Structure 1
Amino acid sequence: MNSIKNTVTNTLSPTITNMIRMDHTHVLEAFHQYEIDSSPQTKKALVNTACLALEFHSQLEEEIFYPVMRTLATDTATVDKSIPEHNEMRRLIGELRAMEPTDPRYDQTFMQLMRDVMHHVADEETTLLPDAERLLSDRLGELGAQMTKRRLQLAAPRAREIAVNTIRGFPTSSMLFAAGALIAGTYFAKRTFEGQSRHRRT
């Protein structure tokens, strides 16, 4: 029974490490779209998109990914320093939310957030994610499904905000990509949980 359940989960849901990489790509895309001479409305939409994605991402890692890695990894240095890095990101996000895009400090604060995030992403993608794929090989799909379910819970109350920011901040091609990714993620999550429910009943 457990092997069937794991097969369904692994097939229909992104692995937790791939999901983390997709989060990184999404945030870096928002960074890439940000330009100093963009309109205040576009700047604010891109900053809001990046900040909300980082908040979801940090919470998901702290609730699901880091605790598992802390129990299994022999070297937890990268995990241990990630929490203070998340807290520094939250501090900068708080500053950005308290400013208007016309504030002279707005660009500088967002650039600092970009630098911090890119350093954090580099550490995770070169060290932590490869370690996770080695240590959690048989649980990556299960943890990915768990993260997908929790992500949908976090995003549901903010769905309108996410949509408005995407429309205002991204060009059409990126909007279509983001919409497709969201639809695909929702579909895979739904199929995963339906599959698990059917197997639990049998």
Structure 2
Amino acid sequence: MNQTERQSAGSSKLDALALLTQDHDKVKKLFEEFEKLKTIEDTEDEKLDIVQEICAELTIHAKIEEEIFYPAVIEAIGQLDIMDEAAVEHKETKEQIEQLVLMAPEEEFYDAKVTVLKEMVEHHIKEEEGKMFPLIQKASIDLAALGQRLSQRKQELQMDMGMIGASMSTGQGREQTQRGPMP
């Protein structure tokens, strides 16, 4: 079983906050990998692979939050300013991703756009983990059941994007590609 399969298989047993935090940690590591490549010449292919994976991970993460997590949170804690801010941050992140997927690593401002995306995502993570998650922990919400729903939808989206094989949900799948296709 490779790393992606272990993470996907293990994520089905995580509660909602642990699953989302795991996603946050993964994308932060990918941004770190990209940062290291910025100082090395002739790394366009590697940059493209990492940015494609970042964009795919963020696209899936945003979808599961918007479709499942945020509605459950709003039901539990109400439509607070933090929820409005999260929606705006998601919109801006999607716009940045749309621009990046149309670019090549050798284009002017490519690295800068990735850096801006990184800063936007880091701010969003800080807000979620620092402000939203503590409110959720105090609310009466079944985080285990919510985590299961998030995990199931995440696997569906990964399959749709060709990031994991169709038999992945049974634990027998093989990863089709190391870095998934663009969203």
For Structure 1 versus Structure 2, the TM-score category normalised by the shorter chain is 0.7 to 0.9
- With over 3 angstroms needed to count, the CA separation of the structure-2 counterparts of 1:31 and 1:136, relative to structure 1, is farther
Gaps in structure 2 of 5+ consecutive residues:
1-11, 165-175
Match of 1:21 in 2: 21
| Percent identical residues | 25
Aligned length: 154
1:37 is aligned to 39
What amino acid does structure 2 have at the position aligned with 1:33?
E
Q: 3-state DSSP class of the match of 2:178?
A: helix
Say yes or no: does 1:145 pair with 2:148. yes
- What residue ranges of structure 1 are gaps of 5+ in the alignment? 1-11, 167-202
Partner Cα separation in structure 2 for residue 131 and residue 52 of structure 1: 28
- Choose which of 150, 153, 164 in structure 1 pairs with 2:178: 164
Q: Distance in 1 between matches of 2:178 and 2:77?
A: 40
Counterpart amino acid of 2:100?
L
Separation in 1 of the partners of 2:46 and 2:97?
A: 17
Tell me how far 1:101 sits from its aligned partner: 0.3
Letter in 2 for 1:93: I
1:78 maps onto 2:109 in alignment = no
Query: Radius of gyration: which is bigger?
Result: 1
TM-score scaled by structure 2? Answer: 0.79
| Cα distance, 1:157 vs structure 2 | 2.6
Query: What is the 5 A alignment of 1:95-114?
Result: 95-114=99-118
Q: CA deviation at 1:115?
A: 0.6
User: 1:93, 1:136 → 2: CA distance?
Assistant: 34
TM-score, length of structure 1 as denominator length: 0.72
**Cα RMSD after superposing both structures:** 1.8
Higher helix share: 1
1:56-71 equivalence runs, <5 A = 56-71=60-75
